[in-house]
A and B are shown apart, each in its own frame.
Chain A
Amino acid sequence: MSAEAQVAKLESLLGRISDNRTDDPVRYPDAASRIEAKPAAPAPALELDDEIPEIDDDAKTIPPAAMPRRLEPTPMEKAISGELALDDDELDDDEPEISVSYPDEDEPELLIEEPEDAPAVELDAPTAPVGTRAPAASASPTTLEVAEPRPSAPVAKVVSRDAPSTFGELLDRALALRPR
């Protein structure tokens, strides 16, 4: 279509829109009166040229496997249904779960369960202005001077006894034992 033809078609379309435009609002009773009642088109009659042939007795003997019957899903259908099936773990916790129940046959009831909101985290109000600038690092590290401890007495005191030198001392220690 040439450019001139396209311009001409557009102008005619704008002309028709302008002709149909009215300044007054459309009154529905009037609009309804403008509608011409048209009889409903009769349903097309089904004409059968030939009579329905009766099923031959031989055809009844065909085994069911030969019939084009698909009661079970094909492998591809199984694969697709498996892909579409979502586990509980894959469900989005944020999405509300919608279930439909039919207490009344005419009006189904929609039940929407909103996910529980996460517990709100309450933050304490700052007691001082929050600094937004990191403290400036010093140019050189400062070494803390730690004084070495100077014990006034031996740090560890080892208490030991010499082995008993006499039989009497050995017996003294043995006879001094008591239940704890």
Chain B
Amino acid sequence: MATTTFDPGGFLEFDLAKGAVSARGTGRVLILSDSVVAPLVSAAVGNGDLTSVRKLGRQLGEAVAEEIGSDANAETAEAVIGAASGILSVLGWGRLRAQSWGDALVLALEQIPHLDDDHLGIAALLGGLFSSLAAREVACVPVSSSGSFLVVDPSVAQKVWKWSRAGDDVGAIVDRLAPEAA
């Protein structure tokens, strides 16, 4: 599923004359140290407002969609996840993997930057990215301390987060879920 067609060549363009860096599909970007971004994200988590981080994720989703070149929902899961993994990697957010637990979809981000203790900043980033890709609201809930996120409908995100905080692992949480009756 992790087959990628993403080509990182020329993704970043450094304009030394203007002193600007731009990323393909997202426009101008800033290259910041994670030690600077982490307190900003932690502050946003503390205030309960991760809108800015989610907005950043949406911009990444648009970049992924541009890489795909068509409706992401009509593409194979491997192509979409591969493109998203490439964009996140080249921007330094870690290496994205996807796992299917039955009907459940778990995103695992390796080499994840430590922005806050519960990875809620990264969760907001991924939520914005996949919401933009799928053209519908998606919530990514941290389900492990190593950087695994369960993709769920926003209406059940709080309950899944509660189970995760109570100590349930991914398997136990997935076992508590069932397809919605038609």
Contacts and interface: CB of A to CB of B under 8 A. Distances in A.
Interface in B113-145: 130, 133-134, 136, 138
Nearest to A175: B153
Contacts of B159: 179
Interface string A167-180: 11011011111111
Contacts of A127: none
B75 interface: yes
Main secondary structure of the interface of B (DSSP, over half): mixed
A96 interface: no
Nearest to B150: A174
Given A171-B138, A179-B159, A166 B103 contact: no
A175 B150 CA distance: 10
Given A170-B105, A171-B105, A175-B151, A164 B179 contact: no
A2 interface: no
A180 B177 CA distance: 5
Interface in B55-104: 71-77, 79-81, 100, 103-104
Q: Of residues A173, A177, A180, which shows the largest number of chain B Cβ atoms within 10 Å of its Cβ?
A: A177
B180 interface: yes
B180 A167 contact: no
Interface string A140-180: 00000000000000000000000011111011011111111
Contact of B74 (A168, A175, A177): A168
A176 B179 contact: yes
Contacts of B103: 173-174, 176-177
Contacts of A179: 156, 159, 176-178
Interface string A36-66: 0000000000000000000000000000000
B153 A171 contact: no
A168 B138 contact: no
Contact of A171 (B73, B79, B156): B73
B44 interface: no
A171 B177 CA distance: 15
A163 to B, nearest CB: 8
Interface string B147-182: 000011100100100000000000000001111100
A174 B178 contact: no
A176 B177 CA distance: 9
Contact of A177 (B72, B76, B104, B133): B104
Contact of B104 (A165, A166, A174): A174
B75 A167 contact: yes
A173 B76 contact: no
Nearest to B79: A167
Contacts of B80: 167
The 8 closest A-B pairs by CB, nearest first: A168-B73, A174-B105, A167-B80, A177-B177, A173-B103, A175-B153, A167-B77, A178-B180
